[in-house]
Amino acid sequence: MRKTFAYTVMTLAVVSSVAGLGLFVAIPPGSARVMRVEWPEAGALCWDALLSLAFFLQHSGMVRPRFRDGIAGVIPPRYHRALYAIASGIALAAVALLWQPSERRLLTIDGPWRWLLQAASFLALGVFVWGTVAMRRFDGFGLRPIKAYVEGRKEQPPPFVVQGPYRWVRHPWYLCVIVLIWSWPVLTTDRLLFNVLWTAWICVGARLEEVDLVNDFGKAYEDYQRKVPMLIPWRGRAGV
């Protein structure tokens, strides 16, 4: 029964994460027609802001050590990362499917500038994939501790290794997401709200994540912080 439960959690983590991210990428905010409510624009924007806030709290709150310590007595730590992946997928899908669009257009970019934005988005996608490949031991679904438990062995913590785009910037994924957010050629009121809120959250989330990384890797990460910028690769390739 324990192994069956473990495999069920691992399956849910993969399905939820892939489905949530797939919906979010395939359905830009405001494009889904699952729930359309005839609200005044102010009401729709408040709803969208609450959706974003719910995702921010889940995504940045569940990963905090205080939260994990609080649920450790109920849920074994080996399941924490997978539970986080499941909740993140659900929250991301909710944003994609329940976002309320605004009809008011603030800016539409056409011509060569539109092609430039598309080129920037493709470049960001390429760097995102590059960063994913560089993080060879990245456990985005939280499967590693559960597999170690099922196989009856102790999980080995991953070493601190810097390679690929992480030699230019400490958070290449976050940088790519910011570029993708702002490369959308049609700017409506709700899209502007999305861009501003999610960019601010990425910057705050990166700061919070760095506190945990310093706690995990100590001086090695502090040296990395001194050599490599957080989001803007203005120093060039660092020798780390």
Give pLDDT, residue 31. 76
Neighbours of 142 (CB within 10 A): 22
Give the separation between CA 180 and CA 158, rounded to whole angstroms.
Answer: 29
Give the separation between CA 101 and CA 37, rounded to whole angstroms.
Answer: 10
User: Helix, strand, or coil here: 187?
Assistant: strand
User: Model-level pTM?
Assistant: 0.89
CA distances from 81 to 42, 67, 232 (A): 36, 12, 29
Give pLDDT, residue 169. 94
Residues with Cβ within 8 Å of 237's Cβ and at least 6 positions away in sequence, in order, are: 167, 168
- Copy the structure tokens of residue 215: 């706690």
Which sequence spans correspond to the domains of the chain? 2-227
Among residues 192, 33, 17, 196, the alpha carbon closest in space to that of 91 is found at 17
The dihedrals phi and psi of 212, each to the nearest 5 degrees, come to: -65, -40
Question: Please, which residues bridge with residue 107 across strands?
Answer: 187
pLDDT along the chain (240 residues), means of 10: 87 93 81 78 93 93 86 88 94 92 90 92 91 82 89 80 90 93 92 96 92 89 92 79
